[in-house]
Amino acid sequence: MEPVFRVFAWWDLGLSGLRSLDLPANLLEGEIPQGIEALNNLRSINLRKIVPHTMQKLSLCSYLNLSTNSFGGESMGSNVNLLALDFSKNSMSGDLPGWIFKTGSSQVSLSENKLGAKLSSPILASQRTSLQKIQVLDLSHNSFSGEIMNGIGALTSLQFLNLSRNSIVAPVSSPD
């Protein structure tokens, strides 16, 4: 029988002070149990290979690693305290999901997905205020194409931008 995410009820074990939950590289699968939001001091969650459905209830969480999943981009809601969000190696495709930029994260990794929008996408333009918080943005190993939008220079907090392994084109000007 394959392992599933049927584990003890953490909230019944007096773990309300738990600050970090690190369960990657296990054979857990399925939905995260209802009741995890009772771990209200949780600041860091690493649940690679787990499907997130109750993450929006963890308002104090500042680091969320949901890499190496089959997450397709369904909205998790917003989390104004989330500093780092890792959705790399998932099954996200199509345009950039607008909700990603409403999480309040300053570090976002969407690398190694199947995203294929143009970087001049209206989603980027409509999320300009939210994007100004981002310091690290990793969109590498996707299928982005076209030119980099002109407004990306207005992202004044951006310190690291990884667009490698895409189909980006940019006008090259020759020096006079």
CATH of domain 10-168: 3.80.10.10
- For the entire predicted model, the pTM comes to 0.72
Tokens 């001049």, residue?
120
Q: What is the 3-state secondary structure (H, E, C) of 104-162?
A: CCCEEECCCCEECCECCCHHHHHCHHHHCCCCEEECCCCCCEEECCHHHHHCCCCCEEE
Residue 126: predicted pLDDT = 65
Tokens 């007096």, residue?
14
Residue 95: predicted pLDDT = 80
Q: Are 21 and 47 in contact (CB under 8 A)?
A: yes
Q: Which of 62, 148, 139 is nearest to 108 (CA)?
A: 139
Instruction: Using only the alpha carbons of the chain, give its radius of gyration.
Output: 18
Q: For the chain, which residues make up each domain, given as ranges?
A: 10-168
Give the integer Cα–Cα distance in Å for 20 and 100: 22
Residue 16: predicted pLDDT = 73
Widest CA span of the chain, in angstroms?
71
Residue 125: predicted pLDDT = 63
Extract the residue ranges of the chain whose pLDDT is less than 70. 1-14, 23-36, 47-59, 70-71, 73-80, 118-130, 149-154, 170-176
CA distances from 4 to 8, 32, 64, 79 (A): 12, 10, 21, 27
Residue 142: predicted pLDDT = 93
Tens digit of each residue's pLDDT (9 = 90 or more) over 10-59: 556 667 777 777 766 665 555 566 666 777 777 777 765 555 555 666 66
Q: Are 168 and 140 in contact (CB under 8 A)?
A: no
